[in-house]
Amino acid sequence: MGSNSSKGVGVVENAAAPALKATDAASAGGDKPKCKACCACPETKRARDQCIVENGEENCTKLIEAHKQCMRDAGFNI
């Protein structure tokens, strides 16, 4: 039984490895983000999310683009 569970763990580790390499390659091309994506640009994120909830995504393109630009400026590849 122990060998079956270790095979499952190996699959998870192997699946995560390519994602880590892709992230490293993306950050090597530009500035490395100083924080996680969820914590970057809280002002533009809040305004964008509120607009989408109240008006719908199609009516908030300026705020969506402003948030994308802020994320790019913070070092994220968007």
> Which amino acids are annotated as binding site, given as ranges?
38-39
Instruction: State the binding site for Cu cation.
Output: 38-39
3-class SS of residue 30: coil
Tokens 């802020």 belong to 70
59 within 8 A of 53, measured Cβ to Cβ: no
CB burial of residue 66 (10 Å; 0-12, 13-18, 19+) = middle
